[in-house]
Amino acid sequence: MKKNKSNQNSTGTIALNKKARHDYHLQDKFEAGVSLQGWELKSIREGKVNITDAYIIMQNGEAWLVGCRITPLNQASTHVICEPERARKLLLNKRELDRLIGGRERQGYSIVATAMYWKKCWVKLEIYLAKGKQDHDKRDSIKDRDWERQKQRVMKHSV
């Protein structure tokens, strides 16, 4: 008989970058594995990760996650020298890497990390090819969101 594990977070989401949806027009979605060390995995299980300032750079045909902060646990990092903001290699196949490189170099897209989550026993990173929004685009999206909210209220009260 199997026992159901009670997770803190039932959706499997570890960290979100909510600012990315506000600052960018998100285009193409990719799912990448992250190359981690043991102490990093223990810290991620405790929820000590922040990806709000994270971005992806392409170097020598490989993708690297930069700016992601994983705070080390005291008990897990006694025998290891920890770098909380080290660059972490992203695990993507060749076709995905080619699309990311092409989008970045030829079309001027940015590569943005939006979410980190569990998929079975692996840590995955959701990344997007994205175009930066200008201030007037941000105002338009705020207006649209407010209008949708008002429509929902009106529909709710009219029924």
Structure tokens that stand for 74 in this block: 């005291």
Q: Do residues 17 and 36 lie in contact, with contact meaning Cβ atoms separated by under 8 Å?
A: no
**CATH number for the domain harbouring residue 32:** 2.40.280.10
Quick check: pTM over 0.75? no
Is 70 inside a domain boundary? yes
Residue pLDDT tens, the chain, 159 long: 444 444 444 568 888 888 888 788 888 899 999 998 888 888 888 888 999 888 899 999 899 999 999 888 877 656 777 888 889 999 999 999 999 888 888 888 888 999 999 998 899 999 998 888 777 667 877 888 888 888 888 888 876
Question: Which residues touch 56 (CB under 8 Å, ≥6 apart)?
Answer: 63, 64, 65, 66, 90, 100, 111, 112, 113, 127
Is 159 within a domain? no
Is residue 21 situated within a structural domain?
yes
Q: How many residues does the chain have?
A: 159
pLDDT value at residue 77: 55
In a domain, 62, yes or no: yes
Residue 30 lies in a domain: yes
Q: What's the number of domains the chain is made of?
A: 1
Closest CA to 101 of 58, 66, 56, 130: 58
Residue 63 lies in a domain: yes
Instruction: For residue 95, tell me if it sits in a domain.
Output: yes
34 touches 65 (CB < 8 A): yes
Nearest to 98, CA basis, from 48, 61, 52, 137: 61
Domain carrying residue 41: 13-133
